[in-house]
Structure 1
Amino acid sequence: AAELAAEALTRLAAGGALAGEAASRWLDAAASGPAAAGAQGASGAAVLGVAAAVPVPGRKAPLFEIGVSPGVGNKKFTAAQMALLAQCASEDGELEYTPEHQIILRVPTFEPEALVDELRAANFIVVPIGDVIKVKACDFCNLEKDDAVPMANHLQDVIGGLSAPKETSVALNGCGMACYGAVLEDIGIVYRKGGYDLFLGGKKFGRNAHPAQPVAEGIPGDQIGGIVERIVAEYKEKGHPNERFHKFFKRVGVIQGFRHVDAPVTVEVNPVCGD
């Protein structure tokens, strides 16, 4: 968990990758390096660990791409936040709304860290996009059922935006209705009756889409965070490039003590009578 937290401090480098991993994609010749985990605090510029590209006469600013949201459970943007996003995009950038209640901001800039600082000062969550861990959650019934909100925020702080073999969703529902579809995600967490149920290996799309496997019920709140962090760490360590989490779970068979079970294939038989 400590290693994941340290890595999280560098997850915004180069607009979607860890420091030194893909800086050239956005910052051309900008320098990159690991952030010092214990000393960086809340400064977005320090967390980035990437120097701004030096403006050169006649050269266009490199494109910077990040995901922005008002919160993990909070889905409501204020007018001031929307105005700030429009100001940041200006004439040369663009804003793209996603099904995850997140806006992707793409804007050419020589000072990405200053942009991140400005967005965070407006109470935005700012995360990289691409092959990273995405922490999602329902709106907790407009934040009226908020018992699991601290866990959603904790997961965002610790694993949100970490690099992964493939884009991976960690989704949390705040009650047993699971209306946000956490049980269909790569890693699903459902808060129910004071504990957390855990689901692994879902696949939301495609002809062979399937729900995640229920692997544990009633996990105490002081344990679920560590379990999910260790699952993510093992996937990061052992997953093949571009290997989705559900395929990884099936390939390794057991992850952090949770065993993969092949789902039975349903075969439709058309009866002769037509019923």
Structure 2
Amino acid sequence: MENELKKVKIAVNGGIGYGAKLDAKQLVTISTYMNADDELELTTFQQLYIEIPENRKEEIIAEFERVGLSYYPVGNFVKSLRTCNFCKGEEREGMPVAKELNKRFAGKPVPFTLKMAYTGCPIGCGEPMVSDIGVMKFKDYYNLYVGGKGKGMDAEVGCLLKENIEPEELYDTIEKIIDTYSEMGKKRETFFKFWKRIGKEQLIGLL
């Protein structure tokens, strides 16, 4: 029976849009692969964790994607971009940049789970200041923060690494940061600990 088959956990969400939303078709499609007593786990990364039969993984992911769901691996990867609700419209809030950030970096392997966040204005609803890597749109440019931590007694606001930069410089800098972390980070070393060990000046010198 299918419920006796080996299962694998995957993450899905509705992609980058106006808030973290799912439509009825997406919910029905997800429920197709759940038993009556199964549960969905909603994570702080705006993802849903669901267990599916391992031998049907590619088929099921393809079906999820056909109804507009985005798939991500579970484990030590860059998580999907946490965003604000984009309250002022797509172009004004920089949604194309948010979508590109998610496309380029979500799912990349890293020493330990890495949280990225984006917000379309200085109000900061997407919580970029307390994420490993955070992006804040300010007028027509972008500010890049690193090393934030939102939990624990040592919670800390991230450091402003670059400000008033264009999208291409933003993408390039984040790619270099993630590559540096992947190469120099210790096994299961969080980005926050890596940042504290490396320091701002050394990290900038490696970019």
Q: Same fold (TM over 0.5)?
A: yes
Partners of 1:225 and 1:164 in 2: how far apart? 17
Output the CA distance in 2 between the equivalents of 1:172 and 1:64.
Answer: 29
User: Could you tell me how far 1:146 is from its partner in structure 2?
Assistant: 4.7
**Runs of at least 5 residues in structure 2 that lack an aligned partner in the other structure:** none
Offset from partner CA, 1:82-118 (integer Å, 9 cap, x none): 1111112234753222233321111334211001100
**Going by fraction, where is helix more abundant, 1 or 2?**
2
In structure 2, the CA distance between the partners of 1:67 and 1:124, relative to structure 1 (3 Å rule), is same
Is the Cα–Cα contact under 8 Å of residues 92 and 107 in structure 1 kept in the other structure? no
Contact kept? 1:69, 1:101, Cα under 8 Å: yes
- Find the aligned partners of 1:218 and 1:224 in 2 and give their Cα distance: 10
Q: Which 4+ residue blocks in structure 1 deviate beyond 6 angstroms?
A: none
Gaps of 5+ in 1: 1-56, 260-275
- Hey, what's the Cα distance between the residues in 2 that align with 1:202 and 1:119? 32
Deviations 1:19-47 (A, max 9, x none): xxxxxxxxxxxxxxxxxxxxxxxxxxxxx
SS in 1 for 2:98: helix
Number of equivalent positions:
203
Q: Aligned in 2, Cα 1:59/1:83: closer, same or farther, shift over 3 Å?
A: closer
Matched, 1:64 2:12: no
Partner of 2:101: 155
**Aligned equivalent of 2:131:** 185
Who wins on radius of gyration, i.e. which is larger?
1
Q: Which residue of 2 aligns with 1:82?
A: 27
Q: Secondary structure at the match of 1:140?
A: coil
- Whether 1:255 and 2:203 are equivalent positions in the alignment is yes
- AA matched with 2:9: E
**Cα gap change, 1:186 to 1:58, in 2 (>3 Å):** closer
8 Å contact 1:73–1:138 — kept in the other structure?
Answer: no
How do residues 1-275 of structure 1 correspond to structure 2 at under 5 angstroms? 60-74=4-18, 75-91=20-36, 93-134=38-79, 135-141=81-87, 143=89, 146-253=92-199, 254-257=202-205
For residues 155 and 228 of structure 1, the distance between their equivalents in structure 2, rounded to whole angstroms, comes to 9
- How far residue 126 of structure 1 moved from its aligned partner, in angstroms, is 0.6
Deviation at 1:217, TM superposition (A): 1.0
Letter in 1 for 2:8: F
Once the two structures are TM-superposed, the CA of residue 140 in structure 1 deviates from its matched residue by 1.2
Q: How far, CA to CA, are the matches of 1:210 and 1:114 in structure 2?
A: 42
2:135, 2:173 → 1: CA distance?
A: 11
Residues 92 and 108 in structure 1, CA contact (< 8 A), matched pair in contact too: no
Q: Which amino acid is 1:69 matched to?
A: N
When residues 78 and 217 of structure 1 are mapped into structure 2, their CA distance, relative to the original with a 3 A threshold, is same
Aligned identity (percent) is 29
Q: CA RMSD in A?
A: 2.3
Query: Residue by residue, what CA displacement relative to the aligned partner does 1:111-134 show, whole Å, maximum 9, x if unpaired?
Result: 110011000111111101221101
Contact 2:83 2:125 in 1 (8 A): no
